[in-house]
Chains A and B, each alone.
Chain A
Amino acid sequence: MVQQQAQILRPETLIEEFKKNDVTHVITIPDSETNYLYELMAEEDWLDVIPISREGEAPSTALGLNIAGKTPVCLIQNTGMMEAGDSIRGMALDVGFPLVMIVGYRGWTRRGATPDSAATYTEPILHALRLNYYLVEQDTDGPRISEAFEEARVTKRPVVVLIGDEYHGFNR
């Protein structure tokens, strides 16, 4: 049980990864699982949290910040990523800026079968958009977030981090 607790992805790990990679802005729509992460981000004076109304705004708002020389990340759920498809295409894939998108993997079970179509279609859509992605399921996966940032910087493309833990432990 203790070992299990140690493995749970901590929201603090995401904040640490953001700081390590000089993130300046987080563009987000909060979901029920990320409330504690949201509170933590709001406490950090080096991080500007930008609430948006719909996920399609995330890549485009990030583009404006990128042009301004800032380092934004998008923090959305997989359902919202599907909604944001055209914005990901036109405002992220086509423009040549590095961008990390942290995407909550709603419905992910690790066992393949899932009753949630949000999970069923997540990876096929990433493949269709030719978006590379890293899966983060537990706290020890945290360094994969830095790998995603490094890949985004080198390729000047958006890279996705799928949070396959549904942010367990993020609500306290």
Chain B
Amino acid sequence: MIDGIEVLKAFAPHRGDALVTHSGTTGGRWGEVSENPGRDLRLESSMGQTTSAAFGLALGLPDEKVVIFDSEGALLMNLGVLASVAGKAPKNFYHFLLDNECYATTGGQPVPNAQGIDYAGMAKSVGYKSTHHFDDLEEFVTSVEEIMQEEGPVFVSVKIEAEVQNLPMGLRTSSGGRSRLETIKDFQEEMGIPAP
């Protein structure tokens, strides 16, 4: 198992101008390492649907690389999106799955068949152009630059340690940062896209 924040840190130097969004506990820490917040989007609200929003973004901005740091709990809740992505096959779509085998934000209960699912194999069989799986940080570090040069849709699953949160919601401290609507507004300004 890999410390998830190390995955984000290893990815950051190879981001280039890619647009980045995320779901899940560890993906939510992307803001700690991002050096280009104008191209970051916080889209989470309906569990599982951030992946579809990132897919729509990739279709709408075909000249930009779109990266999502997904979680396995969220993906399981919207598994059909793999087929939807593979069907349209956006060349600019980079789907990173941070798999901690549990619902970390609700206390660490295991997802169904937590240790028995081959997500990269699933993405491959459904039609993603390129798929990878890592459970070793060094292998990820040495591969990520090349992965970001591949033609999408690309799927990368990485086994990470769970950052389990057990406090009642009312006692948790906010991670702070910009709201979802603020990131959308900032992003559209950065990209020169008129607000609706």
Contacts and interface: CB of A to CB of B under 8 A. Distances in A.
A67 B48 contact: no
A124 to B, nearest CB: 21
Contacts of B164: none
Contacts of A86: 46-47, 49
Interface in A83-120: 86-87, 89-91, 94-98
Per DSSP, chain B at the interface is helix
Contacts of B78: 54, 56-57
A66 interface: yes
B55 interface: yes
Contacts of A96: 181, 196
A40 interface: no
Contact of B57 (A27, A48, A50, A67): A67
A95 B180 CA distance: 8
A135 B97 CA distance: 42
Contacts of B47: 86
Given A51-B84, A87-B46, A95-B184, A60 B193 contact: no
Interface residues of B, number: 35
Interface stretch (A68-76, A126-134, A136-144, A163-171): A68-76
> What is the predominant secondary structure among interface residues of chain A facing chain B?
mixed
Given A87-B46, A91-B45, A60 B53 contact: yes
Given A64-B53, A67-B187, A56 B59 contact: no
A65 B49 CA distance: 14
Nearest to A62: B56
Contacts of A153: 196
B60 A65 contact: yes
B56 A60 contact: yes
Interface residues of A, number: 35
B49 A87 contact: yes
Interface string B41-76: 101011111111111111111000000000000000
B49 A60 contact: yes
B84 A52 contact: yes
Given A63-B43, A67-B188, A57 B60 contact: no
Nearest to B21: A64
B59 A48 contact: yes
27 contacts: A25-B59, A48-B59, A50-B84, A50-B88, A52-B81, A52-B84, A60-B51, A60-B53, A63-B43, A63-B56, A64-B43, A64-B52, A64-B53, A64-B55, A64-B58, A67-B57, A67-B188, A68-B193, A86-B49, A87-B49, A90-B49, A91-B45, A91-B52, A95-B180, A95-B181, A153-B196, A156-B196
Interface of A: 25, 27, 48, 50-54, 56-57, 59-70, 72, 86-87, 89-91, 94-98, 153, 156
Q: Which 5 A-B pairs have the closest CB atoms?
A: A64-B56, A68-B60, A53-B80, A90-B45, A90-B46
